[in-house]
Structure 1
Amino acid sequence: MQQKLLLRLGIPTLAAGCLMMAALILTSGSLPGALLRLTEPANLQSFKILFISIILEAFPFILLGVIFSALLQAFVTDETIKKWTPKNPVAGVLFGGLLGIAFPLCECGMIPVVRRLIAKGMPAYIGIVYLLAGPIVNPVVFASTYSAFRLSPGIAYSRMAVAFTVAVIIGLILSKWMKKSPLKHNESLVAHSPGHPGSRTRHIHEENGAGSSRSHVHSVQTAAKGRWRSKLTSVLSHSSDEFFEMGKYLIFGALLTAIIQTAVDRSALALFSDQPILSYMFMMGFAFILSICSTSDAFIAASFSSLFQPGPLISFLVFGAMIDFKNTLMLLTTFKLKIVLLLIALTSVLTMAAAAIAEAFI
């Protein structure tokens, strides 16, 4: 019942923000007219620059994420993940919320890492907390936000606090009812399948260990080299597979994002800036569609500080880094649809409420 209520509140909130964005695109003419403007030389050049910049901006983070994910798969055992993960739900949620400080990854590279952690035995709710908080609660993003809002440093601190609070609350909610894996595919079985490189290595090791005592040392050395070769092969294989899996959705998301950014008349943003509730919904929908990396979105938000109050700016900075268009496409390849919708709903409602509260203290 509570899940249905959240879906009824959160999904319409985001949908309303996106619809306002669509209305904004149409303020200066019809949709065909807006699309026709994209063919103008200046706008077409802007579209090319935006599209390429989004790809180049996200590329290193996705590459870092898939490599880190592949290293986890090859070198970190399920037992190690379970050993270091707190058993207490509250401690686990706090652990997930602060994990980004040690492993600061952009949202573009978070999904393959979290998918691997969950598949290896980390409780799903802790992985999801890391997925939500990690792109914001880390030193890199704090530094960029503080730099963008030098005249209003309270926004930088509020962004960290709101993101951590929202992620922790979502984690506590999920810890109560999430009993099954939210992943679409159980990858933990892949790591132990007979065809997996690690399984072949163990088989080789067993065969070598069965040799005579005279060649025991040579057999151990050969097996060790074989294990390292197998692990490196596994890292390259997993990295390439996940990179191409995530990359195609990044390109599609970047394409639509560049089109929308080119078509939107930013001067029309003032239509929503004076509306208390609509300004929050609009900025969240704006962040969802723009799909800007969390390491650079603060500079976009700062450019609107003369139009919008701190609350809507914080909602833009928090919601967009947790849930955006390209991120949602990648989430749908990893998690079940019900989980993705619930995450969007929870994040929408909690971000709006927390940002409004934070504004009162700035």
Structure 2
Amino acid sequence: MADEIAVQARPHPAAEPTGRARRRIGSLQVLVAGILAVLVGRHVLGDWTGPAWLEAWGAVFVAVCVQALPFLLLGVVLSAAIAAFVPARLLERALPRNPLLAVPIAGAAGVVLPGCECASVPVAERLIARGVAPAAALAFLLSSPAVNPVVLVATAVAFRGQPELVAARFLASLATAVVMGLLWARFGRPEWLRPRVPSSDRTGWAAFRGSLEHDFLHAGGFLVIGGMTAATLNVAVPRDLFTGLAGLPGVDVLVLALLAVLLAVCSEADAFVAAGLSGFSPTARLAFMVVGPMVDAKLIALQAGTFGRAFAWRFSAATFTVAVTAAALTGWWLL
């Protein structure tokens, strides 16, 4: 009898909160640490660079990850602040329940958050977890890195004397975000969208620290995967394949849109890259700037890790199609 009582009183092994389980290092933490390893390795190795393709791969990988990390950190800080300090009721009241009204408002709200596409993913994830309609959160996810003041000023500097190109970028990007939000409201399925925000009973600063750690480690790991993908594509795909098609009307728009996906340039810097592509038409360069902040290699990886692969592939393919169409129509109208 005593033995039976002892067995019943003994906690189940899965329920024991061992320190070892808490301190286990996951693959995402290792991937984030890989960024530091590459940076330190390049400093230690000095002049030794290895094969040319390996040097190019490392340069692109480090550039993608390093330029995105500050903005990713901005995004996760804002995401953690939303989780810890913003009541769910406030978010619900801020947006109308009707998607036809909520989506345009959320898209326009992207103007107030300077940051790149990496910052918008954890914020959108947290907004959905806090009760914001997915269609509105996704419209914000797309508009925030594309129509904020920093991006528009950078575009104006890169294309001096061409205010019509700045206006075209704003209009085409905002239209893409709103259309994608409305499409999700009409055709999106809940099982495609699975935010991986852990539930927690903590509040205040404890909740802020916990959310910050989770979001950064989670999103940072997939940022590294995206950086590796972008670097591999940059090395594997010949650049002449794109430049040879620059003079073909209509085709050049699709070519630069695909190039934006492969290069994965941060939205604050892509205007300067587009300005250097002088062999392409203004509409093609507009497509490069509209598609890049919404669909690129690292962003697809971030969305897959945050919302699931079923969502990422469907949403990225649809966004690419809508963004190219919006850029082509806006370019035909304004440029």
Whether the aligned pair in 1 keeps the contact of 2:226 and 2:300 (CA below 8 Å) is no
Q: Deviation of residue 276 (structure 1)?
A: 2.5
| Residues 264 and 292, structure 2, Cα contact 8 Å, conserved in 1 | yes
Is residue 90 of structure 1 aligned with residue 95 of structure 2? Answer: no
Greater relative contact order (Cα 8 A, min sep 6): structure 1 or 2? 1
1:239 aligned residue: 212
Contact between 2:125 and 2:195, CA under 8 Å: does it hold in 1? no
> 5 Å matches for 1:83-122?
83-122=93-132
Q: Pairwise mapping of residues 28-107 of structure 1 onto structure 2 (< 5 A)?
A: 39-40=50-51, 44-107=54-117
Deviation at residue 122 of structure 1 after TM alignment: 0.4
Q: Is the contact between residue 124 and residue 181 of structure 1 (CA under 8 Å) also seen in structure 2?
A: no
- Alignment partner for residue 299 of structure 1, among 262, 272, 293? 272
> CA shift at 1:345, angstroms?
2.8
Q: Work out the CA distance in 2 between the residues paired with 1:276 and 1:51.
A: 32
The one-letter code matched in structure 1 to 2:118 is C
Matched, 1:335 2:335: no
Query: Is contact 1:184–1:333 with CA below 8 Å preserved after alignment?
Result: no
| 1:153 Cα offset (Å) | 2.9
Matched, 1:144 2:149: no
Task: Give, in whole Å, the separation in 1 of the partners of 2:273 and 2:196.
Answer: 38
Q: Which amino acid aligns with 1:140?
A: V
1:134 corresponds, among 128, 135, 144, to 144
Tell me which amino acid in the other structure corresponds to 2:202: P
The alignment status of 1:184 with 2:194, answered yes or no, reads: yes
Cα shift at 1:352? 2.1
- More deviation, 242-251/111-120: 242-251
Unaligned runs of 5+ residues in structure 1 are: 1-37, 199-230
Partner of 2:4: none
Report the AA paired with residue 89 of structure 1.
P
What's 1:158 paired with? 168
AA at the equivalent of 2:262: I
**Unaligned 5+ runs, structure 2:** 1-48
The letter for the 2-side match of 1:92 is: A
Letter in 2 for 1:176: R
What secondary structure does 1:134 align onto? helix
Task: Tell me the equivalent position of 2:23.
Answer: none
Partner letter of residue 148 of structure 2? N
**Secondary structure at the counterpart of residue 272 of structure 1:** coil
Paired residue for 1:358, among 323, 330, 334? Answer: 330
Higher mean C-alpha deviation, range 46-55 or range 236-245: 46-55
- Whether 1:258 aligns to 2:231 is yes
Decide which moves more: 71-80 or 259-268: 259-268
Task: Confirm whether residue 197 of structure 1 aligns to residue 202 of structure 2.
Answer: yes
With the length of structure 2 as denominator, give the TM-score of the two structures. 0.79
Shift of 1:343: 1.9
Query: Once the two structures are superposed, what CA deviation does each residue of 1:74-98 show, in whole Å capped at 9, x if it has no partner?
Result: 1111111101112232221111111
Q: Equivalent residue of 1:333, what SS?
A: helix
What's the counterpart of residue 225 of structure 1? none
Q: Residue 225 of structure 2 contacts residue 301 of structure 2 at CA under 8 Å; is this kept in 1?
A: no
Question: Offset at 1:102?
Answer: 1.8
2: CA distance between counterparts of 1:107 and 1:294? 7
Gap change, CA 1:354 and 1:333, over 3 Å in 2 = same
State which of 276, 289, 294 in structure 2 corresponds to 1:322: 294
Tell me the amino acid that sits aligned with residue 197 of structure 1. R
Displacement after TM superposition at 1:178 (Å): 3.6
C-alpha RMSD over aligned residues:
2.2
Q: CA deviation at 1:239?
A: 0.9
> Do the aligned partners of 2:84 and 2:207 also contact (CA within 8 Å) in 1?
yes
Separation (CA, whole Å) in 2 of partners of 1:147 and 1:160: 15
Is the alpha carbon distance of 1:178 and 1:253 closer, same or farther for their aligned partners in structure 2, counting shifts above 3 Å?
closer
